[in-house]
Structure formats: C-alpha cells, structure tokens
C-alpha cells in the first residue's frame, strides 16, 4: 500500500476561512476518485515550528493506482480549481506501508 503525503504552503492572501473551505473541498473532491482508499486532511496547529499550513494524505493500493488517480479528471480539476489559485508550494512524498515488501514492486 502506498501512502501519498502532500504538504502545502498557502499564498498569503488565503484567510483562515478559506483554509477551512480548502479542507472541505479536498475531502469532497478527492474521495470521489475510486482509487483513493483513505484520505486525511488537516491544518497546522504550531505556527512557529511548521511552515506548511495544510496537508492531505491518501492511501493507494499501489503506485499505478496513484498515477491513475492523478490522471483522472477529478484530480486535474481539483488541481486547477483548488490548488493552483491558493497554493504557493506543494511538497509530495510517497511511502510504502507494507513491511518486508520490496519497493520495486510497489
């Protein structure tokens, strides 16, 4: 199983109310993608030690499912309508969650 983590630095024009809306829209839109197995979304609570205002993480069966999801119309629309207007920097990480599994077969 692949755990895909996205850390987001938001534009200075994004208000706290907009952050709440971004969290809701992330959940509504990305959970419509059939390949998404689990979604978590949250906002920062420690402003001094955390430069990322928002994160979302998604579980996928494998890397192929992740790529299928990212190529879907829902993901592309989410990226253009939600991420691009509000995000300055998106940092993404991928982790294999199965112990002893060779990552070449993820």
Distance of alpha carbon 46 from alpha carbon 38, whole angstroms = 25
Going by pLDDT thresholds of 50, 70 and 90, the confidence category of residue 88 is very high
pLDDT recorded at residue 33? 98
Whole-number average pLDDT of the chain: 94
32, part of any domain? yes
Phi, psi of 33, rounded to the nearest 5 degrees: -80, 120
pLDDT recorded at residue 104? 73
pLDDT recorded at residue 39? 97
Instruction: Render pLDDT for 22-43 as a digit per residue (tens, 0 to 9).
Output: 999 999 999 999 999 999 999 9
Is the backbone of residue 22 left (phi > 0), alpha (psi -120 to 50) or beta?
Answer: alpha
pLDDT recorded at residue 55? 97
29, part of any domain? yes
19, part of any domain? yes
User: How large is the average pLDDT for residues 47-58?
Assistant: 92
31, part of any domain? yes
Give me 65's structure tokens.
């499912």
4, part of any domain? no
87, part of any domain? yes
20, part of any domain? yes
Domain total in the chain: 1
Helix (H, G, I), strand (E, B) or coil at 99: coil
Q: What is the pTM of this model?
A: 0.88
79, part of any domain? yes
The alpha carbon dihedral of 53, 7, 34, 61 has a sign of negative
In sequence order, what DSSP letters do the residues of 26-60 get, joined into one string?
A: HHHHHTTSTT--EEEEEE-S-TTT---SEEEEEEE
Find the domain containing 83 and state its range: 11-51+61-94
106 close to 3: Cβ distance less than 8 angstroms: no
């Amino acid at each position: 199983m692949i755990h895909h983590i996205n850390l987001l630095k938001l534009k200075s024009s994004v208000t706290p109310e907009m952050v709440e809306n971004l969290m809701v829209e992330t959940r509504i839109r990305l959970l419509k993608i059939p390949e998404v197995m689990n979604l978590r979304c949250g906002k920062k609570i420690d402003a001094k030690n955390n430069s990322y205002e928002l994160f979302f993480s998604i579980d996928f069966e494998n890397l192929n499912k992740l790529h299928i999801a990212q190529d879907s119309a829902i993901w592309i629309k989410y990226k253009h309508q939600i991420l691009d207007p509000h995000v300055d920097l998106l940092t993404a990480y991928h982790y294999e969650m199965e112990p002893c599994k060779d990552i070449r077969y993820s």
